């Protein structure tokens, strides 16, 4: 999880609209930062996959 560079929502919190209400989606800059953090931690070949029980696992 990463903080939002646009609305400054903390890690684990939803992005906020300019009105202060919860946004329906994450800001594009936050999604890009999350992608960069994931690649830095797991490598460029890693991916997220859901197992048979609904849990997410990182695969290489």
Q: How many Å apart are CA 37 and CA 20, to the nearest integer?
A: 26
Residue 44's pLDDT band (boundaries 50, 70, 90)?
very high
* pLDDT category of residue 37 using cuts at 50, 70 and 90: very high
Alpha helices of the chain — where are they, by DSSP H?
28-42
Q: Which residue has tokens 């903080």?
A: 3
Where do the structural domains in the chain lie, given as residue ranges?
1-60
pLDDT tens by residue, 11-28: 999 999 999 999 999 999
Residue 46 has phi, psi (to 5 degrees) of: -75, 155
Here the tokens at position 46 are 């890693």
* Residue 60 pLDDT: 83
Give the integer Cα–Cα distance in Å for 16 and 18. Answer: 7
Q: How many residues does the chain have?
A: 60
Residue 22, pLDDT score: 96
């Amino acid at each position: 999880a990463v903080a939002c560079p646009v609305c400054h929502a903390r890690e684990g919190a939803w992005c906020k609209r300019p009105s202060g209400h919860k946004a329906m989606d994450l800001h594009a800059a936050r999604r890009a930062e999350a992608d960069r953090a994931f690649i830095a931690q797991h490598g460029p070949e890693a991916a997220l996959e859901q197992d048979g029980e609904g849990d997410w696992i990182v695969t290489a």
